[in-house]
């Protein structure tokens, strides 16, 4: 998966959390990383951190729910680097009003636009280049909620993450013939900024027991390091102290 040793990764949701950690781990492994997200200042901070550590990173501000903008971003990467070897779909949101009692259609629509449509838009945007290369890897960051239904994440989040899992497997069914592979990475609780959107924000002590962003960064780099003959179809990963197993109120996002 290289061109004279050059490997190019595009990471959405790259301004914080899992996306940021993925960018750092991939850059440490020698990848050229392009981080995308809605907040330019956050992206610039990630780029400065990666480049300051001897890596190679750049940023493209992007809202993944806008298909035309997604296509332009992919074209920009290809124009500069000539290839996209890895796509990490890490952009995702949830909303505070997430139960059947208080959910709003506006919130539902926004989750579908970003958590599901945005994933599809990015996959489609890199597909022609990856097919031409006959090589490419996609990592879709879903959630424990994409495998196990529970009340806390809410119907919209749970539904979109289940859909991402199905989307990933369907991609492998069709594109394995072209040398392409996708992994659905489904983490349990991770101590990222999205936790602030929960109706009840976990305490610092609780967050310390959760998966940390760097744990997922290392996992992303591991999947990306596998040879082209290997497809890591799905990874389900959780904290050892799994509040879902412990039946602790307010668990899982």
Report how far residue 217's alpha carbon sits from residue 122's, in angstroms, rounded to the nearest whole number. Answer: 20
Report how far residue 117's alpha carbon sits from residue 137's, in angstroms, rounded to the nearest whole number. Answer: 19
For residue 244, give every residue at least 6 positions away whose Cβ sits within 8 Å of its Cβ, in sequence order, or none.
144, 148, 150, 188, 238, 251, 252
Name the catalytic one among 31, 108, 144, 157.
Answer: 157
User: How far from chain centre, in Å, is Cα 239?
Assistant: 18
Say if residues 126 and 84 touch (Cβ distance below 8 Å): yes
Helical H segments across the chain, by residue range: 17-28, 40-52, 67-81, 105-111, 118-133, 155-175, 204-208, 213-225, 243-246
Per-residue three-class SS string for 84-136: CCEEEECCCCCCCCCCCCCCCHHHHHHHHHHHHHHHHHHHHHHHHHHHHHCCE
CA–CA distances in Å: residue 171 to residues 52, 120, 127, 166, 240: 36, 10, 10, 9, 31
Catalytic residue flag (residue 157): yes
**Among residues 65, 69, 94, which one has the least CA distance to residue 160?**
94
Report how far residue 104's alpha carbon sits from residue 74's, in angstroms, rounded to the nearest whole number. Answer: 32
Going by the DSSP 8-state scheme, the letter that residue 251 receives in this structure is -
Q: What are the residue numbers of the active site? A: 157
């Amino acid at each position: 998966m290289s061109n004279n040793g050059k490997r190019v990764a595009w990471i959405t949701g790259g301004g914080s959390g899992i996306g940021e950690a993925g960018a750092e781990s991939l850059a440490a492994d020698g990848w050229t990383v392009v981080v995308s997200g809605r907040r330019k200042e956050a992206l610039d901070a990630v780029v400065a951190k990666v480049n300051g550590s001897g890596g190679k990173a750049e940023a493209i501000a992007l809202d993944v729910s806008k298909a035309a903008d997604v296509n332009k971003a992919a074209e920009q990467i290809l124009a500069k680097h000539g290839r996209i070897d890895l796509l990490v779909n890490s952009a995702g949101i949830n909303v505070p009003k997430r139960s059947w009692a208080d959910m709003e259609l506006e919130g539902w629509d926004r989750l579908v636009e970003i958590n599901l449509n945005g994933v599809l838009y990015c996959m489609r945007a890199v597909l022609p280049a990856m097919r031409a290369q006959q090589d490419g890897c996609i990592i879709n960051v879903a959630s424990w909620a994409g495998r196990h239904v529970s009340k806390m994440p809410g119907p919209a989040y749970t539904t979109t993450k289940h859909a991402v899992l199905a989307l990933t497997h369907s991609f492998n069914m069709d594109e394995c013939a072209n040398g392409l592979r996708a992994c659905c990475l489904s983490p349990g609780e991770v101590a990222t900024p999205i936790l602030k959107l929960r109706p009840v924000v976990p305490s610092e002590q609780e967050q310390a027991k959760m998966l940390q962003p760097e744990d997922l960064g290392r996992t992303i780099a591991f999947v990306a390091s596998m040879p082209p003959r290997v497809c890591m179809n799905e990874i389900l990963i959780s904290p050892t102290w799994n509040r879902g197993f412990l039946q602790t109120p307010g668990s899982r996002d």
